[in-house]
Amino acid sequence: MKLVVLGSGGSWPCRDRAPPAVALKLNGEILLFDCAEGTQRQFMFSSVSFMQVRHIFLSHLHGDHFLGLPGLVETMALNGRKDRLDVYGPPGTAERLRTLFTVGYFSAAFPLEFHDLKDGGHLDIGGYTVRCIEASHLVPALSYSVEEDCRPGRFNLEKAKALGIPEGRLYNRLQAGETVTHAGKTFTPDMVLGPPRKGRKIVYTGDTSPGPVITDLARDADVLIHDSTSDAALVAKANQYGHSSNVQAAETARAAGARTLLLVHISPRFGKEDEPRILAEAKAVFPDTVLASDLLELDVKLRE
């Protein structure tokens, strides 16, 4: 599981930062969160291919979060894509995107589906569950979590031996969750496996001011990718426009018990010279904070 920050800025493209887009690479396919203008070109500078994008989750339809979509889809078509692509967003997204895709002489050579998701919605994408909640922004907006399914517990070799189960195929079947029999006795997986091991969890807030719903969504996240539009000094203005400050993002990460906080949607008003201060303000509250830069790649390892 790998996270690739394609655009770490907010509002508009600037010299140091592209606007929002984050790719999450799972087994052979990519989930893309937001698709700002230029996202397809950012992909070309990264280690992942946009042809592998299978699902796109838009946080909302402010221009800095979706204007890269028509261009990306057009390029996928020109490159011979045949695989289906699903695009999700808050209520109203499907209708608006259908309209957008009728403006030019565009015809996708592959299935392209638009979906509205609601507050509290969830989606099973094979091995992972995507959940969404309504974010606190100026227009309908969603925050997303991706949770990997639990894995079976660790195999306890001593227990298995003590029970008289012979090594080999029966061990594999028990590890896979099957009940087996040997010498007239029945053995269930719980007799030899430890407790189920939790999968990884990634949370992408999109644009939002802080609140208990976001904290709940971010509970125990391995990586919390959080709106960090402003620094500590400009927090009131950030909240007025449905955004968060770096320190508020850090407070949420701490309250939620997240493992790593990734600050994104950095306002174009901040330059390179502000970065050490922005990071230090957040780290004072939540030490495991990373200030995202474009093309930053983060391996998300299993905890156990």
CA distances from 4 to 60, 206, 299, 302 (A): 20, 15, 9, 17
C-alpha 294/C-alpha 282 separation (Å) is: 19
Q: Find the helix or strand (DSSP H, E) in which 197 lies.
A: none
Residue 115, Cα to own-chain centre: how many angstroms? 18
- Please tell me whether residue 222 binds Zn ion under the rule CB under 5 A: no
Q: How far is the CB of 292 from Zn ion (least distance, A)?
A: 14
Q: Which residue is nearest to Zn ion (CB)?
A: 62
CA atoms within 13 A on the CB side of 173: 14
Is 226 near Zn ion (CB under 5 A)? no
Catalytic amino acids? Answer: 64
Please identify, using beta-carbon distances, which residue of 10 and 89 lies nearer to Zn ion.
10
Does the footprint of Zn ion cover residue 17 (CB under 5 A)?
Answer: no
Asked if residue 62 binds Zn ion (CB under 5 A), the reply is yes
- Give the single-character DSSP code of 235: H
Among 1, 23, 32, 64, binds Zn ion (CB under 5 A): 64
For position 68 contacting Zn ion by CB under 5 A, the verdict is no
Give the binding range for Zn ion (CB under 5 A) out of 61-69, 108-116, 170-178, 186-194: 61-69
Tokens of 59: 């946080």
Contact segment (CB under 5 A) with Zn ion among 10-18, 85-93, 120-128, 296-304 equals 10-18
CB nearer to Zn ion: give 64 or 147: 64
Q: According to CB under 5 A, which residues from 179 to 208 bind Zn ion?
A: 207
How far, rounded to the nearest angstrom, does the alpha carbon of residue 83 sit from its chain's CA centroid? 21
Query: Which residues have C-beta within 8 Å of that of residue 56, sequence separation ≥ 6?
Result: 31, 32, 33, 35, 69, 85, 86, 87, 88
Provide, rounded to whole angstroms, the least separation between the CB of residue 72 and Zn ion.
18
Residue whose CB is less far from Zn ion, 174 or 264: 264
Amino acid identity at 142: L
The answer to whether 10 contacts Zn ion (rule: CB under 5 A) is yes
Interface with Zn ion (CB under 5 A): 10, 62, 64, 207
